[in-house]
Homo-oligomer: A and B are copies of this chain.
Amino acid sequence: MWNEAIPDRSTQQALKRKAILRAAATIFSRQGSHGATLEDVAASLGVSKAALYRYVLNKNDLILACQEEALEIADRALTRGEDEGTDALEKIRIGLTLYLVAMMEEMGVPALILEENALHGDEAERTYEKRDAYEIRMRRLVAEGQADGSIVAVEPKVAVFMLLGSIHWVAKWYRPEGAWSPEDVAEGIVGLATRALDTRPAAALPAMPDTTTH
């Protein structure tokens, strides 16, 4: 009854692992996976480098786990987009917006940009496949939008690359300390990027809090 709040051991473990992923994602995202040391990650959590190894197999495993987490968030977000959107463009808009917000909340970073040779090992193959699957899913939505009249005629691949570029780039410039909330940023950037595909683009776009520091 009253020990509901006391998490058992395995929950503790999971929480700590989650915290490590979060810290790692932030650092990987900024410095690149090769430029980030486990020492960096550990220091940002106030623990020793060796302590990480109770929660993570090795650096590669950590990178992989971050990427997997991001992909799952992306997938879940897109699924909700498909459920809630009325046309394909709206599905994409919702999917990407939720992705950015969820990443910020759960991982502390808007997106995870990895170098080409960041992942290796058998597990990595499967992760790359998931990433490809996500892109294909997006392309299908673009094609769907062209069928339902919500999206203009463009090569779907280019459309998706353009969207993902805009989205992922947020990791390069967004600072949580700034004046914009995660929602501001997500709606602002996704609203703008999807306008490129919109067959009936609005004249005005969501306003964002003014700031001189950004």
Q: Does A47 contact B (CB under 8 A)?
A: no
Q: Does A147 contact B (CB under 8 A)?
A: no
Which residues on B sit within 8 Å (CB–CB) of A208? 155, 158
Q: Which of A159-180 contact B (CB under 8 A)?
A: 159, 161-162, 164-170, 172-173
* Interface-located stretch among A11-19, A29-37, A67-75, A77-85: A29-37
Which of A32, A34, A113, A205 has the most CB atoms of chain B within a 10 A radius of its CB? A32
Measured between C-beta atoms, what is the minimum distance from A173 to chain B in Å?
5
In the complex, the answer to whether A115 meets B30 with C-beta atoms within 8 Å is: yes
Give A residues with C-beta under 8 Å from B: 30-35, 113, 115-118, 152-155, 157-159, 161-162, 164-170, 172-173, 188-189, 192-199, 201, 203-205, 207-208, 210-211, 214
In the complex, the answer to whether A31 meets B34 with C-beta atoms within 8 Å is: yes
In the complex, the answer to whether A152 meets B205 with C-beta atoms within 8 Å is: yes
